[in-house]
Chains A and B, each alone.
Chain A
Amino acid sequence: MSSPSHGANTPRTYPSRPQAVYFYGTCLVDMFVPEAGMDAITLLEREGIRVIFPDNQTCCGQPAFTSGFPDEARRVVEAQLDLFPGNHPIVVPSGSCAGMIRWHWEKVCAGDPALKARAEAISARTYELAEFLLHVLGFNRKDEGPATTVTLHTSCSARREMGTHLVGRELLARLGNVTLAHHDHESECCGFGGTFSLKHPDVSTAMVSDKVASLKATGASQLVTADCGCMLNITQRAAREDQDAGRACASLPGEHLATFLLRRTGGSPCGDQK
């Protein structure tokens, strides 16, 4: 199998609504944006799905894999293969971690046929949260929020590995009072790229600054994205620009799509309760 970024634009077939799902939160959400994970779980449960959170989950192995340390990636992946003993779908609130599981776990396990077979069985039932909401659950709740304009960033992995670049748009389009403002160079990377942002700060900064400028130029009140890596990269760059310019309030606040959807449709995001 090859990922859509290499041109296999085969549409994915989706299962019918399951009773339960495994929730793979990702290490970034676990430690840095737990509200996004919690709101995603709430959304799923509100749709009547039982959510199983395997407590032994850590990381999908992507940082080591993309940095060129496949053995280290395999060790971590191996430790994740026991997490999903049942046949339930696995839902991931991140296009890039979902892409890692769906396309690359089998590659890092390629040296061991038994391991590879287990990885493949997991890859086949791994879904990015947004595509699961739209295509499996047919998410379509009434928008209860006031009229607003938002802008959307879709991660490169969601776009090119998971092929879900239209999913976020469709979910937002189903909210009656929300207008989506498109930004220029929408399909371009925000410049995060994991260790790329650490190893090549000059180029990464140039990319994220351009992305922030494009997003702000829409005049939208906030950013919505289904990937926390991109979100932290973009909003913390914007926050730094605010800081440097002496602005007191955030010029480009952002939140995960799960949080946004939950609030708009009558739920209470866990970050709002404080």
Chain B
Amino acid sequence: MSSPAQQSAGKPVAFVSAQALRARMHDAVNDPHLRQSFRGAMDFLMAKRAAQFPDQGELDSLRSLSESIRQYSLSKLPDLLEQLEANLTRNGVQVHWAETPEEANAIMLGIAQRHAARLIVKGKSMVSEEIEFNHAMEAAGVGALESDMGEYIVQLAGEKPSHIIMPAIHQTKQQIAKLFAEHIPGVDYTDNVDALIQIGRRVLREKFEVADIGLSGVNFAVAETGTLCLVENEGNGRMCTTVPKVHIAITGIEKVVEKLEHVAPLFSILTRSATGQAVSTYFNMISGPRRGEDKDGPEEVHLVLLDNGRSQAYADEQLRKTLQCIRCGACMNHCPVYTRIGGHAYGTTYPGPIGKIISPHMMGLEQTHLLPTASSLCGACGEVCPVKIPIPELLIRLRGEANSAPHANPAMVGQGAAYDPKISLLWKLWARLYARPATYRAFTWLATRFRALTPTQQSGWTAARTPLKPASRRLRDMVKDRR
């Protein structure tokens, strides 16, 4: 049976997509190589983070400060965005607003065409992944080349990132060596990591010089000064934003903060949570195009501000917390599910816990309603999140949005996508049983007296465990007997 939400979408997409997600998860957990490599990589990242926070008290207060900065920024979001636009414009940056990925791509393609651009060189940007920027450009005959080493590898392999900070974490050095030898002219197979990095650097260097446009993401946009802050380690971000004649930055509307002084604590907790670095190698602050006496820098700077479902999350007090995220990736590094299945199994741009809570706003619940259920609610993500997003609480909320019968004025697109009258009826019966002590006692009396009749096939439980069997007497019987 399909819900009205599904009917309005034409066909029950949810079913197909949920089935595909299950199949990917099944394949991933049964891939020993994947299991081993993600376990190793996540253990490494967890240890690096832990080493950055030896003092629990300092961590607690930095998390509280970071949470309050993000919540304060969001509480003033509409004003801050206006202020940001005004100050960026004053600084000579052209600001564009995009509601959908299509709009964002059209804006950027327009800029590219105005400059007759043939090649866009890209710094790391998850928002550009979110809007499938590379495909959109290539479809229009404009080349888009990733210059972050991980992204470059993923692009060569024709894949998507499997981690928001470490895009190629699923690739072994042997696989990378093969990719380089196959795709880069004149390169022989070598799995020496230093040699591979040198090869990548050489290829990309040449491209920076010929690229017409540089694209980058934004980590923090400062409203009061009109400054775009960019955190990176390879220097490719600085190249993208200074060498080509045109720089386009793209980011989600939630990335704004009011003051420059709000950036420092967020920057510190971001790098320490993400890669376990005290600071990143590069921190770029972009305040406009090249000015008269400047020796370098782009002649034109653009900022594209993307909504893509963010204002839906913003409109709801609880769901708004999703937008506090500073994209550090710590939630995925600590997630026992992500560790088992890797990033690709999710089938979304953002994998892991953050992906489970933000993708439903970007893609609708019809396609994503199974994601929030794929969690044991262990709380490891909420425990490490530097801005204290209550991820388990949001997962529960999203389960409720998906399960409830479709109603008017839903908080989310696709509300009711997993509504199943039979399941809902079962929970109603469950509630009746457990809300009436006498009925509950009768039920448990029967279940224990007739325990021999307990079915031995118990759905997912007996897939891997011996069956559950009620005890011969209940706790309440034992209590009564003893008194």
Chain A contacts to B: CB under 8 angstroms: 2, 5-7, 9, 25, 27, 29-35, 37-38, 41, 53, 55-59, 61, 63-73, 75-76, 78-79, 156-157, 159-161, 187-189, 191-209, 232-233, 236-237, 239-240, 243, 270
Q: How far is the CA of A25 from the CA of B466 in the complex (A)?
A: 24
24 contacts between A and B (CB under 8 A): A5-B392, A6-B393, A7-B388, A34-B477, A38-B482, A41-B479, A56-B437, A58-B435, A68-B397, A68-B398, A75-B432, A79-B435, A79-B436, A156-B379, A189-B378, A189-B380, A199-B460, A200-B373, A202-B22, A202-B26, A202-B30, A207-B337, A240-B464, A240-B466
Binding site secondary structure of chain A: helix
Tell me, yes or no, whether B470 is within 8 Å of chain A by CB: yes
Tell me, yes or no, whether B390 is within 8 Å of chain A by CB: yes
A-chain residues with CB within 8 Å of residue B450 when the two chains form the complex = none
Name the distance in Å between B392's Cβ and chain A's nearest Cβ. Answer: 7
Once A200-B460, A237-B464 are accepted as A-B contacts, the answer to whether A79 and B437 lie under 8 Å apart by CB is yes
A-chain residues with CB within 8 Å of residue B474 when the two chains form the complex = 30-31, 34
The residue in B67, B397, B402, B482 that gathers the most chain A C-beta atoms within 10 A of its C-beta is B482
In the complex, the chain B residue whose C-beta lies closest to that of A65 is B396
**Among A5, A64, A160, A206, contact of B35 (Cβ-Cβ < 8 Å):** A206
Interface size class of B (residues with CB under 8 A): 35 or more
Asked if B463 and A205 sit within 8 Å, CB to CB, the answer is yes
Asked if B427 and A203 sit within 8 Å, CB to CB, the answer is no
In the complex, the chain A residue whose C-beta lies closest to that of B472 is A34
A-chain residues with CB within 8 Å of residue B337 when the two chains form the complex = 203, 207
Name the distance in Å between A30's Cβ and chain B's nearest Cβ. Answer: 4
Asked if A270 and B478 sit within 8 Å, CB to CB, the answer is yes
Please, what's the 1-or-0 string for B345-383, where 1 marks a CB less than 8 Å from any CB in chain A?
A: 000000000000000000000000000011111111011
In the complex, the chain A residue whose C-beta lies closest to that of B429 is A72
Tell me, yes or no, whether B476 is within 8 Å of chain A by CB: yes
Binding site secondary structure of chain B: helix
Asked if A63 and B463 sit within 8 Å, CB to CB, the answer is no
Q: How far is the CA of A200 from the CA of B373 in the complex (A)?
A: 8
**Among B336, B373, B475, contact of A207 (Cβ-Cβ < 8 Å):** B336
B-chain residues with CB within 8 Å of residue A41 when the two chains form the complex = 479
B-chain residues with CB within 8 Å of residue A195 when the two chains form the complex = 373
Q: How far is the CA of A205 from the CA of B26 in the complex (A)?
A: 11
Name the distance in Å between B320's Cβ and chain A's nearest Cβ. Answer: 15
B-chain residues with CB within 8 Å of residue A196 when the two chains form the complex = 373-377
Asked if B476 and A53 sit within 8 Å, CB to CB, the answer is yes
In the complex, the chain A residue whose C-beta lies closest to that of B64 is A7
B-chain residues with CB within 8 Å of residue A63 when the two chains form the complex = 430
Tell me, yes or no, whether B340 is within 8 Å of chain A by CB: yes
Tell me, yes or no, whether B127 is within 8 Å of chain A by CB: no
Please, what's the 1-or-0 string for B454-483, where 1 marks a CB less than 8 Å from any CB in chain A?
A: 000001110111111111011111110010
Once A55-B476, A200-B25 are accepted as A-B contacts, the answer to whether A206 and B340 lie under 8 Å apart by CB is yes
Asked if B471 and A34 sit within 8 Å, CB to CB, the answer is yes
Name the distance in Å between B76's Cβ and chain A's nearest Cβ. Answer: 22
Asked if B434 and A79 sit within 8 Å, CB to CB, the answer is yes
The residue in B336, B430, B440, B464 that gathers the most chain A C-beta atoms within 10 A of its C-beta is B464
In the complex, the chain A residue whose C-beta lies closest to that of B63 is A7
Name the distance in Å between B305's Cβ and chain A's nearest Cβ. Answer: 29
A-chain residues with CB within 8 Å of residue B277 when the two chains form the complex = none
Q: How far is the CA of A35 from the CA of B474 in the complex (A)?
A: 9
Once A200-B460, A204-B460, A233-B465 are accepted as A-B contacts, the answer to whether A32 and B383 lie under 8 Å apart by CB is no
Asked if A207 and B380 sit within 8 Å, CB to CB, the answer is no
Tell me, yes or no, whether B140 is within 8 Å of chain A by CB: no
Name the distance in Å between B344's Cβ and chain A's nearest Cβ. Answer: 15
Q: How far is the CA of A78 from the CA of B25 in the complex (A)?
A: 38
Asked if B478 and A38 sit within 8 Å, CB to CB, the answer is yes
Q: How far is the CA of A9 from the CA of B388 in the complex (A)?
A: 12
B-chain residues with CB within 8 Å of residue A160 when the two chains form the complex = 378-380, 382-383
